[in-house]
Every structure is written in structure tokens, then in C-alpha cells.
A and B are shown apart, each in its own frame.
Chain A
């Protein structure tokens, strides 16, 4: 008997006589706050990320200001803002990315309640690796992309795409449960919320 057949057989005999009907109650929803975007910005900041709000007109200059002088920058194809001097990712290797300083991407969803940014790695967001290896991630979130809470995000996200949920810079509490920002992912998360 194959392992598959044997395991499924064990499961079936384990569940013999067990009632398989059961209802899953709907998960409760938070009372949405009036100012979703404000809540989002505040909650992202709580993770010690840098958060700025700006208009579409100011975006390019804000992006430029978020990048240190002389920084080597990578951007994904299809980024909706001009980043002078940036290299467009055309399949850079991990080692090549490791030599760069910063990345600029857009996002697909912002979650107000938890201060979470979600990337689905479509156009303007790029391959998963590019927003991971460089040490500084400048991320553009548009006000219209901000939803109230996790269930709202789950509802609009496409599970067929790879998703990366980002809540602040990478962190660890492995040493005496003291939170330290910046381990393997970008040590700086700079979020531009575009109203």
C-alpha cells in the first residue's frame, strides 16, 4: 500500500462515526474607523517603519528624498513613478541584488488595523527577491488600496499569486525577548502613503 493510501485510510478510520457536519461561525469584524488611511499610517509607524503621506504630484520627489545620496537602487518593471538612475530588474541574481542598497516598489493592499502592506508581486512590485535582499525598502501604498482589516484583505487578494505580507521592518525577539529591528530582510522600511 502506498503511503498516500495508508495515511488516508488511517484518517478515515480515525474519523469513523465522527459527525462531519459543523458550522464555522463568521469571524467577527472590527468596527471600522472613520480615517482608515490615518489608522494605517499610525499602525505602520508603530512597527518603527518610516511613514510619510504625500500627494501623487509630490511622489517622485518624496521617493528621491527617501533614497540616500548615491544609493544603488533597483526598481521592478512597471513601477508607476520615475526613479532616476535606478536599475530596472531584468532577472538580477541574488548576488547582484546583494550589492545594491535600496528597492522601490508599489503594493496591492494596505491593512489599517494591523499596519500591514501586502505585495502580490505583479507589475510595479516585482519578483519577491527584489524587495527582500536590498537593505532599504521604499514602498508606495495608495490611499485607495487601504482596507480595514485582515478579512477585507483576504477577500481582495488572489491566492494564486505569491503574496508577501509586510508589517514593519524585519525583526526578532529571540534574544531575551527584546525586539530588534532588522535581521535578514530590509532593515529600513520607508512607506509613502499617497493620498
Chain B
């Protein structure tokens, strides 16, 4: 896979391109609408859903505020269970560990369970440089990999593709990397899934090394958990001799009991099911069953940076369900690629800046990629207040520019607004000036809003053009509310009918 998120433009320009892609718009609207409805139905079934959310959030939060202790415990229990634990400060270190393990077993290929962490660190590309082929085995990841594409959704990475596009990709690409797609392949989802089954089965049967992530890592028992649907996870976790799991340090759950609310919250929130088809848990090596060599790579790669942020820390509670993407009106229209990261949507808009730090123009554009509508917080199973974190990160972005020698136009405008708005007399003066402008517009402007109010049509200039390119702008009224209040003693001496709002 050579496609990469490196060098992506800032969100507004990436979004503009995506908005013009009619196929993408159609695919996304259909897909997110479908999954939203499914989620709503199964969540409505759970009477105590809000209490379940509180419990799930508390489990994850309790892990985070005591993370060092739980990590040490996890290492102890995993080791006692026969697993080898590695620690990786960053992507390069994690990739090197996985590559070394594969080389130790003379493996020139690995099979992979869908894993956000390995995408985040660019593992496939790093292995390719070492001459090791990494086969994605999740259907959507396979579609993305064969299409030399990038994932655009946490749960369904090929959400931006429709069945016709997928059929073409399979026909064109499968033969080059293994069993070809049947010549009479149709675009029926069941037929496409069947082709993927045949294509991947030979890879499962011969693989010596598998790579996975983990949804949860239980500190108390040294247990990893993978939640999946297709069975490709079970194949990777069961058939090969060697298993390497790359696990973000925030995946820790302190106790076995703590899995309960999370295993109830995740499937309903993500796929809209009561339970996902397959959940596998394993505690190191089981003699005579499954991989006899088990490695766990504990990954930081910016997580401790996020952990240090008092407001942003909660983002590490994320269980990658993608409910926030599916309800986000911005994501629904622009898709995942516009966010320039494997973590798109509302959660991506906060995770990326939290883990990478602010200061890069692309990353800095992400906290602004939201209308702050709050739909994400409403559905988040672990109650991450995404709008709160977005606003907090916007302040971090702005603060990063406070030392600029030449302030941005926006900063100057905000300083001016703050000056005006911290004194009612200044505000009254500005309103008076705008009232004069409004009077001119009323007299000379030709645009009228429905109902008759004077308005401005297209106005050139930054800001004004951004608004009036697609929206008429009401002309300022001749008299502000405060001027009216003063002139009429709060309407008591008004000679016009206050109820009609007719000024004189």
C-alpha cells in the first residue's frame, strides 16, 4: 500500500474537494443513515443505557488516572501467562519490534487483523520496506489495500466505496496478489464477500505470523480482547504459530469485571447489534491451542501527551466504536479522508491534535472541523465530551500563535471584538455605525429576504464572501435593540407598535 496521509491539505480545502465528489456524498449519506438507524434501534432496547454509559466511562477513566500502575500489572500478568511484552515509545520503535519478530521466524508475509494502532504507525509500509508483505484480512481493509486507497472510517474503512467500485477493484487487483476473483463476479455483497473468503483462505492457511491490535487489555488477568464480525480475527488469532499484538497503552482495563459495560456498549454503538459475531479473549499462550509464541507491543506514540492534557485526557477513553462519525453532520458530508488521518470524524478531530500536538497547519485545522453541534457527545458510549475538547484545542491552536510577529487577521478581529464587547458604550457606537450601513442598504440594496427585510446579496472580501457566496445577509436594522430601549424607555413611550417590531 503506497497511499498515505502524509502531506494532506488542511481540512477546509480537503473538504471542498470531497464535497464535490457526488459518488462519495451518495455513498456516505446512505451508509451513515443506515448505521445511525440501526444503532438507535438497539440502544433504545436498553432501558439503563445512560447508566451503562456512566459505568463504561468510569471503567476507562479509572484505568487512565492510574495508568502506570495498571501497565506494570499488565506486563506482570502477560509475562506470567507466557507472553513477551515489548514497549514502544513511537511508531518507528513499534514497527521495528514487529519486523524483528517476523524476521526471526523467516516470515516474508504476515496476516493482519484490522487494527487502528497498526495503521496509525504505518506498520504495513514499514514491513514492506523490510521485504515483508502484510495482508489485511478484514473485508473493508482488503478493499482499501487492493484499491491502493486510504481508510475513511474507523469501523468500515471502505465506507466511501460502493458495491460497483468494490467489484472492479477485486477483478482488477486480486489476481496480482493471490487467488484471482472469479471472472463472473457480480456486485452482490454476498458474492463479493464470498470472493474475499476464497482469496484470503489460502493466506490464512499458510501464514506463520499474525499481527493484531486489541480492543481491551485486562491488567488484572493478562488478557487481550479482540472484537470483530467476520472471523478473520479468529483466523489470525488462532491459525499462525506466532501472534504479535500492537496495543495502545490506553487500551488497558483494570479488571476482568470492567469488561462488562464495555462489551455491552461497544457492539450496540458501533455496528448497531446486540453483540458482534465474534469476540476472542486470550491470556498469553494456551498449550496445544493457538499461537505458541505470543508478543504484546505496548505503544505510546503520543498517548502520554494526550494523557497530560487535563481536558483532553478523556479522549483516551475512546473504544473506537465510530458512533461519533456516523452521527456527525460534517463527517457525513466530507468523509474520512478530509481529516488526513486514520482517525477521522469528531474523535479524530481531537485525537490527532492531542497525540501529535498542535502547531502543524493540517492538525491545527482539525479542531475547527466541527459546528459544535454536540451529536457526537450524545452518542459516545464512554461519554467523551468532544465539543468541550474541540473548544479547548482551539484555544491551544490560538495560543500557539500568540507570539507571532504579525498577528493573523482573525486574531486582530477578535482583539477588536473583545475591546468593543467589553464596554456597552463602545458596542452602542459600533451598532450605530452599522445601522447607518443598514439604512444605505435598505435604500439602495435590491435584495429582499422573504417577508421583505432588506438584505445584502453577494459581497466581496474575506469573511463577507464566505458568508454571502451562498447566503443572503439581512441588512443591519436602523436601530439596535439597546437604542430602541433607551429611546422608548423599554417600549413604554414607543409610538410605534412594539409588537410588530416596527421601528420608526
Binding site for B on A (CB under 8 A): 2-4, 6-8, 10-15, 18-20, 22-31, 43, 46-47, 91, 94-95, 98, 111, 113-116, 121, 127-129, 132, 149-151, 154-155, 159-178, 180, 182-186
Question: Do B87 and A4 touch across chains, with their CB atoms under 8 A apart?
Answer: yes
With A7-B87, A8-B71 in contact, is A174–B156 under 8 Å at CB? yes
Interface residues of B, count at CB 8 A: 96
Check B65–A178 contact: CB distance below 8 A: no
User: Contact check: which of B86, B139, B279 meets A183 at CB < 8 Å?
Assistant: B139
CA distance A154 to B235 in the complex (A): 24
Q: Chain B residues near A47 (CB, 8 Å)?
A: 277
Decide if B91 is an interface residue (CB 8 Å cutoff): no
Q: Separation in Å of the B84 CB from the closest CB of chain A?
A: 13
Distance, CA A29 to CA B261, complexed state (A): 10
Instruction: Output the nearest chain A residue to B86 by Cβ-Cβ distance.
Output: A3
Given A115-B275, A171-B229, A177-B34, A22 and B205 contact (CB-CB distance below 8 Å): no
Q: Chain A residues near B31 (CB, 8 Å)?
A: 176-177
Residue of A nearest to B207 (CB): A94
- Can you name 18 A-B residue pairings with CB atoms under 8 Å? A10-B308, A11-B71, A14-B305, A18-B65, A25-B58, A27-B261, A46-B274, A47-B277, A91-B288, A150-B260, A159-B221, A162-B282, A164-B280, A173-B229, A174-B139, A175-B163, A176-B27, A176-B34
**Do the beta carbons of B88 and A3 come within 8 Å of each other?**
yes
> For chain B residues 244-278, which have a beta carbon within 8 Å of chain A?
249, 256-261, 263-264, 271, 273-278
Q: Which of B68, B232, B273, B281 sits near A8, CB closer than 8 Å?
A: B68
Q: Given A128-B290, A173-B156, A174-B140, does the pair A22, B260 have CB atoms closer than 8 Å?
A: no
**Alpha-carbon separation in the docked complex, A91 to B81 (Å):** 22
Q: B474 within 8 Å of A by Cβ?
A: no
Any A CB within 8 A of the CB of B67: yes
**Residue B300 is within 8 A (CB to CB) of chain A in the complex:** yes
* Contact, CB under 8 Å: B274 / A115: yes
Across chains A and B, which 10 residue pairs bring their CB atoms closest together, nearest first? A185-B231, A28-B48, A14-B308, A10-B304, A184-B231, A165-B279, A170-B231, A174-B140, A183-B230, A114-B275
Q: Is the CB of A173 within 8 A of B271?
A: yes
Given contacts A27-B52, A128-B289, A182-B190, 18 further A-B contacts (CB under 8 A): A2-B87, A7-B71, A11-B67, A18-B65, A98-B201, A114-B275, A128-B237, A129-B239, A150-B260, A159-B281, A165-B275, A176-B27, A176-B34, A183-B229, A183-B232, A184-B201, A185-B231, A185-B277
In the complex the two chains form, what is the Cα distance from A6 to B79 in whole Å?
20
Given contacts A25-B51, A174-B143, contact A182 B156 (CB under 8 A): no
Given the interface contacts A163-B280, A167-B273, does A177 sit within 8 Å of B35 by beta carbon? yes
Given contacts A7-B89, A114-B274, contact A184 B260 (CB under 8 A): no
Query: Is the Cβ of B205 less than 8 Å from the Cβ of A94?
Result: yes
Chain A residues whose C-beta falls within 8 Å of the C-beta of B67 in the assembled complex: 11, 15
Segment of B192-200, B365-373, B401-409, B415-423 engaged in the interface with chain A? B192-200
Q: Which of B55, B93, B232 contacts A25 (CB 8 A)?
A: B55
Tell me, rounded to whole Å, the shortest Cβ–Cβ distance linking A104 to chain B: 18
Asked if A6 contacts B89 (CB within 8 A), the reply is yes
Q: Closest chain A residue to B38 by CB distance? A: A177
Residues of the B chain whose Cβ atoms lie less than 8 Å from the Cβ of A178: 189
User: In the complex, what residues of A have CB within 8 A of residue B218's CB?
Assistant: 159
Report yes or no: A161 in contact with B286, Cβ–Cβ below 8 A: yes
Residue from B47, B239, B307 within 8 A of A30 (CB atoms): B47
CA of A55 to CA of B166, assembled, Å = 46
Is there contact, CB below 8 Å, between A159 and B278?
no
CB–CB B201/A163 < 8 A: no
CA distance A78 to B158 in the complex (A): 43
Complex CA gap A150/B68 in Å reads 28
Residue of A nearest to B94 (CB): A3
Name the CB-closest residue of A to B50.
A28
Whether, in the assembled complex, B100 has its beta carbon less than 8 Å from a beta carbon of chain A, the answer is no
Q: Which residues of chain A come closer than 8 Å to B87, judged between CB atoms?
A: 2-4, 7
Instruction: Judge if B66 is at the interface, Cβ distance under 8 Å.
Output: yes
